[in-house]
A = this chain, B = another copy of it.
Amino acid sequence: MAGTDQEAVRNKQVALKHYVSGFPKESDMSVVTSSISLKIPQGSKDTVLLKNIFLSCDPYMRGRMNKSDSPFFVAPFQPDPPLNGYGVAKVVDSTHPNYEKGDLVWGFTGWEEYSLVTCPELLIKIQHTDVPLSYYTGILGMPGMTAYAGFYEVCSPKKGEYVYVSAASGAVGQLVGQFAKLVGCYLVGSAGRKKRYFLEGIDIYFENVGGKMVDAVLLNMRLRGRIAVCGMISQYNLEKPEGVHNLMQVVGKRIRMEGFLAGDYYHLYSKYLDMILPFIKEGKMKYVEDVAEGIESAPAALVGLFSGKNVGKQLVVVHGK
Q: Which residues of A contact B (CB under 8 A)?
A: 71-74, 210, 214, 229-232, 235, 240-261, 264
Known contacts A210-B248, A241-B248; A259 and B264 CB within 8 A of each other: no
- In the complex, chain B residues whose CB is within 8 Å of the CB of A232: 247-248, 251
- In the complex, chain B residues whose CB is within 8 Å of the CB of A258: 250, 254-257
Cα(A232)–Cα(B253), bound, Å: 14
Cα(A59)–Cα(B240), bound, Å: 31
What's the minimum C-beta distance from A222 to chain B, rounded to whole angstroms?
Answer: 13
Cα(A242)–Cα(B72), bound, Å: 23
What's the minimum C-beta distance from A142 to chain B, rounded to whole angstroms?
Answer: 14
Q: Is the CB of A247 within 8 A of B73?
A: no
Closest B residue, CB atoms, query A219: B71
- Which one of B71, B214, B246, B250 lies within 8 Å of A246 (CB-CB)? B71
Number of copies: 2
- In the complex, chain B residues whose CB is within 8 Å of the CB of A246: 71, 241
Cα(A256)–Cα(B260), bound, Å: 9
- In the complex, chain B residues whose CB is within 8 Å of the CB of A252: 71-74, 259, 261
Q: Is the CB of A253 within 8 A of B73?
A: yes
Cα(A252)–Cα(B260), bound, Å: 7
Q: What are 11 A-B interface contacts by the 8 Å CB criterion?
A: A71-B248, A229-B250, A229-B251, A231-B251, A241-B246, A244-B247, A251-B259, A254-B259, A254-B260, A255-B258, A255-B259
Q: Is the CB of A261 within 8 A of B250?
A: no
Q: Is the CB of A256 within 8 A of B257?
A: yes
What's the minimum C-beta distance from A224 to chain B, rounded to whole angstroms?
Answer: 9
What's the minimum C-beta distance from A298 to chain B, rounded to whole angstroms?
Answer: 25
- In the complex, chain B residues whose CB is within 8 Å of the CB of A259: 249-256
Cα(A246)–Cα(B210), bound, Å: 11
Closest B residue, CB atoms, query A243: B243
Q: Is the CB of B257 within 8 A of A264?
A: no
- In the complex, chain B residues whose CB is within 8 Å of the CB of A256: 256-259
Q: Is the CB of A210 within 8 A of B247?
A: yes
Closest B residue, CB atoms, query A259: B250
What's the minimum C-beta distance from A239 to chain B, rounded to whole angstroms?
Answer: 11
- In the complex, chain B residues whose CB is within 8 Å of the CB of A248: 71-72, 210, 232, 235, 241
- In the complex, chain B residues whose CB is within 8 Å of the CB of A243: 242-245
What's the minimum C-beta distance from A285 to chain B, rounded to whole angstroms?
Answer: 25
Residue among A72, A74, A240, A244 with most chain B CB within 10 A: A244
What's the minimum C-beta distance from A263 to chain B, rounded to whole angstroms?
Answer: 10
Closest B residue, CB atoms, query A218: B71
What's the minimum C-beta distance from A199 to chain B, rounded to whole angstroms?
Answer: 19
Closest B residue, CB atoms, query A71: B248
Known contacts A71-B249, A229-B247; A261 and B257 CB within 8 A of each other: no
